[in-house]
Amino acid sequence: MARTRALMTETERARIAGEEDVEDRKVYQAISEVRNRINDELVDDVETLEEHHPGLLEELRDVVCKDHDEHD
């Protein structure tokens, strides 16, 4: 099954992580795109989940708020 993106595209993830040798402006552009998704689309998604499917919202919170040290 093909992967879909959550918050970042594979390209944005690579640029932000410094895995691509690209101009600084492309890194800043990737950061800006992700920031816009966080402040716009993600807010709308959270509001929709809060109203219509609080269980999914809790799953999202669990992923976002968990301690990520286990992945290091």
> Residue 71 has what pLDDT?
52
pLDDT digits (tens, 9 = 90+) for 15-67: 999 998 999 999 999 999 999 999 999 999 999 999 999 999 999 999 999 87
For residue 8, the SS3 value is: coil
**Sign of the CA dihedral with 5 first, then 17, 63, and 60 last:** negative
What's the one-letter identity of residue 48?
A: T
Q: How far apart, in whole angstroms, are the C-alpha atoms of residue 70 and residue 15?
A: 23
CA dihedral 36, 37, 40, 41 (to 10 degrees): 160
For residue 67, the SS3 value is: coil
- pTM for the whole thing? 0.78
What's the one-letter identity of residue 16?
A: I
Mean pLDDT of 1-15: 87
